[in-house]
Structure 1
Amino acid sequence: MKALMFGWEFPPHILGGLGTASYGLTKGMSQQEDLETIFVIPKPWGDEDQSFMKIIGANNTPVVWKNVSNDTVKSRLEKFMNPEEYYKLRDNIYADFSYMHTNDLGCIEFSGRYPNNILEETNNYSIVAGVIARTYDFDVIHAHDWLTYPAGLHAKSVTGKPMVIHVHATEFDRSRGKPNPIVYGIEKDGMDNCDHIICVSNLTRKTVIENYHQPYWKVTTVHNAVDPLSPEIDAIKRISGVPEKVVTFLGRITMQKGPEFFVDAATQVIRKTDHIRFVMAGSGDMMDQMIRLVADRGIAHKFHFTGFLRGKQVYEMLKSSDVYVMPSVSEPFGISPLEAMQCGVPSIISYQSGCSEILHNVIKTDYWDVDAMADAIYSICTYPAMAEHLKIEGKKEVDNIKWEDAGLKVRAIYDMLV
C-alpha cells in the first residue's frame, strides 16, 4: 500500500499543531512494513526527518519546462531530492503554465508559512499536485486540512485514485461559528468530493456531519496521539530560581484558544494568593490585546509573555510548569495537554476540546467558566496530594495513547477504499 499525502507543514518547521500531528501519524503508520508514504509540503527546508517516509517539495517541482543542466539542478536541489527526480517530474508537466511566475528551474515559489496570499498559494499547490500525481505510483490520496483539499482533489481527478481528507479543524472552530464563506466553500468541496473523511474527534465529526451536511457513514473519528519523549527531551530539567508555582497557557493566542478566559482566571487567582505566577507562551493576532488586558487587570507583575516557542523550548516551558491550562473555545483535538501530561504537568482542559473525549486524569471545565478554572488552578497549586495524583496518573494514561494505534485505524480506511 502506497499513500500520497498532502500537508502544509512538517517538523522541525511548524507553526501549529498540524505539523506535529502530520509527523506523529506518518511515523506511526511507518510501523506497518507494507505501507509507504510520500508526503508533499509546499516548502521543505532540508532538515526534515525522512527516515520513515519520502518528502516532496512543491517548490522543487517544475510546472514550466526549462532547459536546465544537471550540474545546476544538483547544486540547487541535491539537499532536497535526487536530481533525476527533477527531470522525472519535468516529464510530467501536463499543461502550459508559462503565464505563471516561476524561477529559473520552472518551479513556483512557496513561503512555507501562512502568508496573506494564502488562497493563491493553495491554488498554486493544487497545480503542482497534478505534476506530482502523474509522476509517482500510489494507491490512495490523503489530504490534511483545507489548504490541501484542492491539491488532493486535483490528484484524484487525474489519477482516479480514492481520496481521504483529514479534518484537523474546521472554519467553524477557527471563527467561533462565523465562517469565512470562501474557506467554508473549499472545505465543503473537499468533503463532498472525497471518498472518506477522517476527523480528529467526535466533536469535529459532529460539526462535519451537521454543518457540512455529510452522511454519517462517510466520516470516521481517529483521535490524535503523542510521540514518546526522546532521551534529550526527557533530560530537560525545570528552570530553577522561581519560588512560585507556574501556570502556563501554551498555544496560538487567537480567538479559538480562549486566551482571555485564561487571563480572567489568572486575575481571580492572583487576587486570592501571591504564590502563583502565570505564563502565556505563544503568538497570535490577539497577543497585543492580551497584553493590554493583563495591564488593565493590574496583574502584570505576576504575568509573563514569552512569544512563540519551538522544539526544545516548548518542553523547557512545560517542565518548568506546575499546571497547564487549555481553555479553548472550540478545539478539534488539542495535542498540547498530552505533551504536558507526558512531562508530568497536571492539566486543565475545556470540555469543548476533542482530547477531553479520551483524557480522564485531567480537570475539565467549560471554557467560559472562569470561576471553576480559577478554583482548579488554585487547588492544584495549593494541595500537593491532588497535584501528585494528576501528575502520576496523567503520565500513565498519556503514555498509552500511541500514534501507531491511530495509524492502524487509518490503514483500515485505506484498505476499505482500495
Structure 2
Amino acid sequence: MTAASELTLSPQIRPLPTQRPAQEPPSRWPLIFCSLAFLFFQGALTHLFGASDGSSGGALKALFLPVALLIQLSAIVLLALPKRQRIVLELLPRNPWMLLAIAFIVLSALWSIDPNLTIRRSIALLGTTAVGLLVYIEVGRERLLRFFAINLAIFTVLSVLFSIAVPSLGTHVHDKFAGQWRGLLGFKNQAAWSASLFIIIWLGSRKTNWMKKLNWPLLAVGFLMLLQTKSATGLAATTFGVATFISLYLFRRFVIFRPIALTALAIILVLVFTDAGALFSTILELLGRDASLTGRTSIWTALLPFIQDRLWLGSGYQAFWDHAAEFFGTSSWMASIGHAHNAYIEILLDVGIVGLIIQLAFLLHAHLKLFLSSMRGNPDSATMFVIFLTFTVIGFAGALFFRPNTGIWVMIVAFSFYAFDRRPRLARQRSAAG
C-alpha cells in the first residue's frame, strides 16, 4: 500500500450503516458520456473552441455553445428516462439550498440590467447542474470520487503533454506570463486549480490496482503541472488542501490530536477577527506576493460602488461584465477583465447580499454534511469535505460557484448530492423491486 493510500484507509474505519454495498457496474455508454461531458466542461478543448482569457480563440470557437447545449440537453433527456426520473425526484428535495440558490438566480432576470442575458446563462447553469446530477446518479457513490480522480488524471497528463509538445498553445506566449504553462486551458491560474484539485482528489480516492501502480508517477505529473504554472493561488490552494487532508485524517483517527487541532483552529480564528490584515500580509509574504494580489484588490475597490448601488439583489446573474464598458468606459482596463477574480464579490455583483446568503448557506450545509459523514468513518466524505474547503480558498482568487459550463460546478453538484443523499441508489432499486 502506498503512503498516499494509507492516509485514506484505516483498520478503524468502517462503512456507514446507510452506505450501500458494492453495486453493479454502471452502464458503459452513459458513463462514457459523463466522462466526456466533465472533460469538456473542465476545459479539455479550450484551445480548439476558444481561449477563456479573452483572446481570439480557436477555429471552432463558434461551436462551443452548441456543443455545450447538446451535452446539457442530452443529460436532461437521460435524467428524464423512467429509470432515473424517480431517483431525480427523490434527490432534488434533499438539496434544498442549492435549489433555492438556482431559483433565486433564475428570478434575478426580473431585476437584471440585461434580462435576456441572465435568462440564457441561467438556462446554461441549469443544464450544467443536470450534468452534475447525472454524474452522481450514473457513476454511483462508491465510484464517484474515483471517477473524478481518473478524469482529472487524464486531464492533467494531457495538459503536461500539450504544454511540452505544443508550447505555442500549452503555454503563455505573447503576454506577461510568457513561458508559464496553461496546458489544455486558456489561463495558467485555471490550469493550477485543476492540478491542485487533481492532487487532492488523487490522494484521497480509494484506488484500484492499476491506480496504485501509477500513484507516484501521476502525483509527480500533477505537481509538475502545478509548479510550471507558477501560480501562487494554485500553490496556496494545494498546500491548504493537503495540510487540511492530513489534519482531518489525524483528527478522525487519533483522539489525542483533537484538542490540539481545535486549539490551533481557535488561534487562527482569533487572529482573523482581531488582526486579519497582519495575518493576510504574512501569508502574502510567505507566498512572495504583494498586497495587491497581482492587482486583484484594485479590481475589488473599483467594483465596490457598483455593488453598493444594488446591494441587496445585485445586477442580475452574470449580467454585469457584458456591460462593464458602460460602467467604466471603453478605454478602461476594467472593461475587459471579464470577472471579479473573487467568487464572493462576483456573487454580490450578480445577486447581492440575499443571493450571497443563500449560496453560502448551500456551501456551509454541504461542508457540515460531509464533515459529519467523515467523522462517522466515511473516507470519501472526508476527501470531498477537503475539496469543498479548497474551493472556498480558490474562491478568494477566482469566480467558481454557480458557474455554467464549468467542470468545477459539475464536481460541486455531484459532491453535494453525495452529501445530502440519505438513501443510496441500490436501496432504492431494491425497494422498487420489492
Please give the range of the TM-score, normalised by the shorter of the 2 chains: under 0.3
Q: Which has the higher contact order (CA 8 A, sep 6+)?
A: 2
The two structures have a TM-score, normalised by structure 2, of 0.25
Higher strand share goes to which structure?
Answer: 1
- Which entry has the higher C-alpha Rg, 1 or 2? 1
TM-score, length-normalised on structure 1?
Answer: 0.25
Higher helix share: 2
